[in-house]
Each structure stands twice: as structure tokens, then as C-alpha cells.
Amino acid sequence: AATAPRVPSAALALQNFDMNYGLQFGEAWPSVRVGLLSEQKYGALVNGFADVDLVSQELELLNAADFVSEGLRKAQRLQQGSVVEAAEREQSGSQEVAGERQAAELPPPSALVTPNIKCYTFPRGDITRFRAARPDVLGILNYYLLDAASILPVLALNIQPGDFVLDLCAAPGGKTLAILQTGLCGCLAANDVSISRTKRLQQVLNSYVPKQRRETVCVTSWDGRNWEELESSTFHKVLVDVPCTADRHSVMEEENNIFHKRRSKERQMLPMLQLQLLVAGILATVPGGEVVYSTCSLSQLQNEYVIE
């Protein structure tokens, strides 16, 4: 053991994914693998507390586009196409029209997307990096750089005016900041079990959110699994963005890699931790409220099986 070559944690992660995801994805895995090993593509979340129009203009001059509004327009075009096609089939007496009419009666995409969130990305295939954010005259930074996919759980929350929102595993703060961009929260609780990570969350809030608006955010360092001891059946929307294998990080970085041999037991216990956090999120939600569960992993054990 003393003389055996040390296998890097990232290599161990990739070996694990080749074995498990190879079975899970089959013929699609080589393509997914290339994506996983590609350089991370960042998005620029526009800070609504800065000059939004000015920031948006500057980003558009770089040939970046707001993927949230682009996706919305695409969804609207697809739905309009379905409506037209259903009408044409109805005129021709098609037996499939009942199902298509039902699809056409779904709520418009605009009703399913949280407003006010703008996140700019460069075109497909372009991995140009945005420059560091700059403060405005009030000292507020103009945008926050994050993995663009991190916006999706916040959009799925579909926050409504006056909603009480809980971000159960909030640090380092990108999703918390995105939640604030909606301008709809009646109250926002941002929690993370790690005190050091909670300090990072607080730094993000201090850099991006005016003081008077920060006063509406309650930041705590509590074990999310025990949230019911603080309060239960309180929140209209709960985001449970759980600790996970963080697949891209695991195959790209050695620092803080959960595939380090010393962390094998921690890694094996992840699904149980995730389940406990999800249950805590459900217990924190008012009857009729909504919970969004999200990970940075492709693993069915950490996603579908936890939900089941």
C-alpha cells in the first residue's frame, strides 16, 4: 500500500461514472461523458438591484443572450404550433384531436416561468468567459457568474407574489440570489449547515443586495435535516438543492473531491442524507405548497430513487 501509485480522485470519479453511467445511459454515455469533461460554461445572472438595462446592453454587445427569455419564446412557438396543428386535425376529423386539444389547453409557458430573472450565456459551442463583475456607483455588483443550469431549479419554484420561500441548502448563494431577483418573496430563509459556507452566502448578499432588501432575508446555519425543530408547515415554496457527488467537479478537480478515498463512506451515505433533507423540506412546506429537489449529479440513486 505504501508503494502503490496514488490514483487521483478525479480519475476514480471517472472510473465510477464509466461503470455506473455506462449502464444507466447505454449508447448515449460517450456523448454525455464528453459533455461532462468539457469546460464548464458560465452564465451571467443579471443583478436586478443594479441598472438592469445597462448591464443587459453590455452583455448583449458581447454577443451573449438571455437564455431564460429565449427558452420562453421557443416554448411559446412550440405551443402555438401545437394549437394550429390540433385545429387542422380537428377540421380533418382526426381521432387524435382530443389528446392534442388537451395539450393545447396547458397553461402558457409564461405562466410556468418566474419573471424578472435574466441569465446571459454565449452561443452554443462558445465557452468564452465573462469578465469579473464590477460594482456600480452604490457598490452593488452588476452580475453573478454561475453555472447556467443552476437557474433551472429556481425557475421551477414558480415563485408567486408574497410567497414564503426556504432555500434549505443555500450556500454558496447563487440560487438564493436568483430567488431574490424575482422580487416576489414575502420572506426568504436561506440556510446551510456549514458555518464557513454560510459566511460565503452572507458575502454574496452583501455584494449584490442593498442593505434594506437584505433585512428581509433570514440566514441560518442549521442542520437542514432538523429544520422541523425550528419551524414546520411554514413555507409556500422550498428549494432542496442537496449535497451530491457534483459530477463535473468530481471529474475535473482534486480539491474537495468527494471521490477521495477518505470520503468513501460520506459518498455512500449521500442518498440517505438527500432523503432526510427532502423529507425536512416537505415538512417545512404548507399544505398545497411546492418543493423542488435538485442535484448536480446524473446518478439515479441521488435523483429518481430519492424521490421514489
* Residue numbers annotated as active site: 296
Residue 175 marked ligand-binding = yes
CB 20 within 8 A of CB 299: yes
State the DSSP code for 41.
-
∠ CA(275), CA(222), CA(144), 5° rounding?
Answer: 90
- Tell me the C-alpha distance between 267 and 250, whole Å: 12
Which element (helix H / strand E) includes 181?
Answer: helix 174-181
Strand, helix or coil at 120? strand
List phi, psi (to 5°) of 219.
Answer: -100, 130
- Is-contact 140 210, C-beta < 8 A? yes
- Per the annotation, does 173 bind a ligand? yes
The whole-angstrom separation of Cα 100 and Cα 103 is 5
Residue reference for cell 432555500: 167
35 labeled part of a ligand binding site: no
Q: In the numeric block, which cell numbers belong to residue 233? A: 408547515
170 in a labelled binding site: yes
Contact 241, 152 (CB under 8 A): no
Residue 113 per-residue DSSP state: S
Residue 210, annotated as binding a ligand: no
Residue 171 annotated as binding site: yes
By DSSP bridging, strand 217-220 and strand 185-191 are parallel
C-alpha span between 76 and 71 (Å, rounded): 9
- One-letter amino acid for residue 281 of the chain: G
Residue 156 is assigned to a ligand binding site: no
192 marked ligand binding residue:
yes
Binding-site annotation, residues for S-adenosyl-L-methionine: 169-175, 192, 223, 241
Binding-site annotation, residues: 169-175, 192, 223, 241
